[in-house]
Structure 1
């Protein structure tokens, strides 16, 4: 959703006029954030579709918004394609089952489609992990994804991804994709969101008191067992600081917010258990419930420092890294060395990045960086000229260039 939202103001500048089809928010579990509509151009056509109510489908174990909305998407887009002329269908979502409609619409209406891979669809990452570390309903979702992914990938006309690793996996799995237009395009940086969050700051509350004399370090994003290595590394550095300079380091409070995709009140903590085992739970808070997007930005802007936790999966990339940079706060990031997010932070000189492969070398450095945060000595000198390449406008241009190349290729079925 965020990719499309911040691209909408710029599509027309590069020759594309978008029509959006989305699920009516009342059918989702997401917290309402009406500010998300503030910068959407008034001329954009937006159609909302229904979904089967979760209170019904949950009785048979079906909660996926994609599956609940699939039939309604099919019906609405069929209506649109019969009435109007469209050149391309663009899927930009992590609700992957919807993507199977691309092949259907391509065959029925001779219209190409592009898929934006923001996360892996079918992944074998958890296959060798203990059952306790696997996501809820993993057995069902893994098998469903394995069955559905080929339906979309065997007919797709172009691919966008936030990670080269995601594309490499798909190209290996489906060799015919190598001949198609493909592009790694990260999410864009959208400065206007920060301006709006500051303008509307009276609407938000912080999860901590700014005047309590403590140093509040914030992470807003998902947790998970695949982030155990990064968290352990961070906490080891913190524990060293506690041992060396207790009076100073005991003022740190870590806030991990929105760590679960589960509905409000039903998330399982994955960060606090690590803190408990390491004996630092008094300094750590974990809120599994997600918060509205602009609430998250407001929290980043008011933190004393920011933490970004990455996965031990080489394919993972923190596609929404830019808000952490735009907040202009001292930043510590923990990533697999192959992560594109680590590369972006380093290029822009926006923070300190620690590799999950260098644990023994990093603990002292992490402790030192935390000290610099505490003492206010960490200078923030972001290379904005480098950062400009990641602006929402520039990355929307890249999307449109790929759309054009798909149309130029013209690989469509015969009616």
Structure 2
């Protein structure tokens, strides 16, 4: 039997911590071995994270996966000097832990899959010290100018500090990297253009995959969750972050709904839009970003926004209980919305509106999604058809293209990752 190659995964967030950037790792773990790779994970112990935890996430992690835990400095101490980031708080602990692992055992590759990018600078250090190549999964841009001309109110907290830190740290990690994975071709092109030294390294665009076992976990544990929908209404549901960058995608939908309501109030007044988990702020402290837009259109009585985040499996259950699903994209063309896959897994009718350059559009067309549009070209007539079909109950459970379902599954996405890993190793020989 062929010996498995060894992969050390650096994922600061990991179950039971409920963070979007650990989902690729979590969904890939069951499939690495069949692609010839033995994976181990180095993560930050959950007690050092201030994100919500969901014990159910652990049910999807194979019991055979070895997990190493590192500490982090207390946020209450480091935030006094402006360093609340878990990546910065854990950096020295990561260095010590992985040093001890690599002294003991030989690994073929180190895989950073996280949006906590500062930890990635350790890849260059471990490569120099232990000779282990590394790959970075760019789930988001690291050093980005996207917010630089935005008003202060639309910038992330501590943007000034983060922008300068990222500008300094990114080249340390990227100039020495052996391979790149990204959810967007734009991220890879940007980095290869910024750092010509990496223009020939293996790189691959791999979206997140659809992980079917999650639906069963959600259903099996449904008694744990308080229902969020009111069955008296026809519920169109979106679960995920809000923000003004999504207003261009949401506006045409609100406008078309307002028009439909005006034409036939009796027919369409049963519809309710529910936007859930739109803020990253602690519970009760979120600021609504969708409801003010609904107020501008005069349809605030038909739009409910819950800013508080909900757990991953509560999300899946809520999507399954909806009458239809709405996925608005960002005005950032590189925003891919990895969250489309849980929506597609439910096989509920979907209305999706994205930037015309978003990779989400061809993926959803590949599946056979009927109502997928870009916000520049979508017409009121097209959106009215969706509302009409919804209230007339002619939007049935969706039967997607079977080849596309397989092509975008977590198993296939893991195979694509491992193909890149093998390329890196072959390039080194």
The alpha carbon displacement at 1:394 in A equals 1.1
1:164 aligned to which of 185, 203, 211: 185
- Relative distance call for 1:262 and 1:61 in structure 2 (3 A) is farther
The alpha carbon displacement at 1:44 in A equals 0.9
Structure 1 CA distance for aligned equivalents of residues 289 and 104 of structure 2: 49
Unaligned runs of 5+ in 2: 1-21
Matched residue SS, 2:357: coil
1:156-195 equivalences under 5 Å are: 156-195=177-216
Does residue 397 (structure 1) correspond to residue 418 (structure 2)? The answer is no
The alpha carbon displacement at 1:260 in A equals 2.1
**Could you say which residue in structure 1 is the equivalent of 2:124?**
103
Deviation by residue 1:282-329 (Cα, 9 ceiling, x = unmatched) = 211222222111111111111111011101111111122111001111
Farther off after superposition, 397-406 or 55-64: 55-64
- Relative distance call for 1:71 and 1:265 in structure 2 (3 A) is farther
1:378 aligned to which of 377, 384, 395: 395
Structure 1 CA distance for aligned equivalents of residues 39 and 337 of structure 2: 26
Structure 2 CA distance for aligned equivalents of residues 141 and 188 of structure 1: 30
2:161 aligned to which of 128, 136, 140: 140
Deviation by residue 1:67-113 (Cα, 9 ceiling, x = unmatched) = 12212111111111111111110001111111111111111111110
- Relative distance call for 1:371 and 1:29 in structure 2 (3 A) is farther
Native 8 Å contact 1:29 1:263 kept in 2: no
Structure 2 CA distance for aligned equivalents of residues 284 and 125 of structure 1: 29
- Relative distance call for 1:104 and 1:264 in structure 2 (3 A) is farther
The alpha carbon displacement at 1:132 in A equals 2.1
**Could you say which residue in structure 2 is the equivalent of 1:223?**
242
Structure 1 CA distance for aligned equivalents of residues 355 and 291 of structure 2: 22
Does residue 327 (structure 1) correspond to residue 346 (structure 2)? The answer is yes
Deviation by residue 1:217-253 (Cα, 9 ceiling, x = unmatched) = 1111111221110111221121111111112222111
1:246-265 equivalences under 5 Å are: 246-265=265-284
- Relative distance call for 1:263 and 1:103 in structure 2 (3 A) is farther
Does residue 369 (structure 1) correspond to residue 386 (structure 2)? The answer is yes
**Could you say which residue in structure 2 is the equivalent of 1:296?**
315
Native 8 Å contact 1:234 1:366 kept in 2: yes
Structure 2 CA distance for aligned equivalents of residues 261 and 177 of structure 1: 34
Native 8 Å contact 1:252 1:283 kept in 2: yes
Structure 2 CA distance for aligned equivalents of residues 139 and 234 of structure 1: 34
TM-score, structure 2 as length reference: 0.92
TM-score, structure 1 as length reference: 0.95
The alpha carbon displacement at 1:63 in A equals 2.3
Matched residue SS, 2:30: coil
Unaligned runs of 5+ in 1: none
Does residue 7 (structure 1) correspond to residue 58 (structure 2)? The answer is no
**Could you say which residue in structure 2 is the equivalent of 1:347?**
366
Structure 1 CA distance for aligned equivalents of residues 309 and 115 of structure 2: 16
The alpha carbon displacement at 1:362 in A equals 1.6
Matched residue SS, 2:60: coil
Deviation by residue 1:375-402 (Cα, 9 ceiling, x = unmatched) = 2112323112222111111111111110
Residue correspondences, number: 407
Deviation by residue 1:143-187 (Cα, 9 ceiling, x = unmatched) = 221121111111000000111111111121112222000111111
Structure 2 CA distance for aligned equivalents of residues 325 and 281 of structure 1: 28
Native 8 Å contact 2:229 2:322 kept in 1: no
Native 8 Å contact 2:334 2:359 kept in 1: no
**Could you say which residue in structure 2 is the equivalent of 1:93?**
114
**Could you say which residue in structure 2 is the equivalent of 1:32?**
53
Aligned-CA RMSD value? 1.5
Structure 2 CA distance for aligned equivalents of residues 146 and 384 of structure 1: 43
Matched residue SS, 2:199: helix
